[in-house]
Amino acid sequence: MTPRTQWLMIAGLAVMALYFGDAFYRGWIEQPSQQLNAQYDALSSSIRDTKDEQGIAQKMGKRLTTYAARALPYDPQLARSLYQEWLLTLVDKHELRSASVDAAQPVVIELRSRTKKGKRHTIGHRIAYSLRGQASLAKFAEFMTEFREAGHLHKVRSLALNPTGKEGTLDINLAIEVLSLEASPNKDQLSDWQLAVDARPPRSVSDELVKRNLFARGFAKALYDIELKAITFDRLGTAQAWFRVDGRGTTKTVSLGQQVPIALHDISVVEIQSNKVLVNVNQQPHWISLGQSIGQVCSVPTES
């Protein structure tokens, strides 16, 4: 065997050694390492997903606990009557007139069982209420503020407001839905849970709504027709304010606490002094002197 042949054989053996060494490295080291890394990454991802799910479950658990605390008592008929009584108390407090509160029969809420196919579990009841009445925009805004701040598990499904044309009065039609849950800890009374102060919308929002009074658009000129003409006191010292209430010169006497008769605006007399009167105009206080109009003291722009 010549030296050249020997060198060729050595080179061939070296190439084969490199080939089989690379195959051994790939098959026994690199590929298993990649598989282990992939398994490790999958396991790490699964652990993260599990932790995320546990976090979501914990948050949902806390939320469900809060919902249960806010829900009506688990007895649907008792819940139905207690909430209706609460609504009527709210109606009386905020002076909604000609009011009625009707309650529908409770409707069962069910969920599918996760363990038994075709099995359903009752978790509570849904109860619908219909509230009808009349009030000024200011009174209704106060009603809705207290409704919103109450902790009951309730919501407004629909709302309709229609002007009646009488002294700022609106016809109110309100559809409400409330939940009674089996998990509720409230056995025979409503929850006393209240919306946190920092979670409540600022009162300025509802005040601005009342002040702007979109239902009275086109009636701004009427405020300039309302003028304080006189202030009188009887023998007992009872004061009365005399207002011109329209462009024809019609005069009405208004005592303390009474409304000034004008369509779509809520104007009430709060205080009467010898030369001026304090009035609430759409829930905003204004002093008006003899000879002045409501439009002047409120700085209401006239509409062209």
Residues 6+ apart with CB under 8 A from 112: 119, 120, 121
Among 80, 103, 59, residue whose Cα is nearest residue 152:
80
Alpha-carbon distance values, 49 to 36, 37, 64, 77, 238 (Å): 20, 18, 22, 43, 75
Q: Are residues 87 and 142 in the same domain?
A: yes
Q: Are residues 167 and 230 in the same domain?
A: no
Q: Are residues 227 and 206 in the same domain?
A: no
- φ, ψ (nearest 5 deg) of residue 165: 85, 10
Domain holding 281, by residue range, is 216-298
Strands of the sheet with 239-244, listed across from one edge: 227-233, 239-244, 251-255
Number of domains, the chain: 3
pLDDT at 100: 94
pLDDT at 236: 87
Measure the CA–CA gap between 264 and 272, rounded to whole angstroms: 23
Binned average pLDDT, 10 residues per bin, the chain of 304 residues: 65 60 58 64 64 50 71 91 95 92 93 71 91 88 88 90 75 93 86 71 64 59 85 90 87 90 80 92 87 83 48
| Boundary-marking domain end, from 188, 212, 236 | 212
CATH number, domain containing residue 96: 3.30.70.60
Q: Are residues 153 and 238 in the same domain?
A: no
Q: Are residues 106 and 193 in the same domain?
A: yes
pLDDT at 298: 81
Q: Say how many C-beta atoms besides its own lie within 10 A of residue 121's C-beta.
A: 12
Residues 6+ apart with CB under 8 A from 125: 76, 79, 106, 107, 108, 109, 179, 180
Q: Say how many C-beta atoms besides its own lie within 10 A of residue 86's C-beta.
A: 18
The pTM (predicted TM-score) of the whole model is 0.60
pLDDT at 37: 67
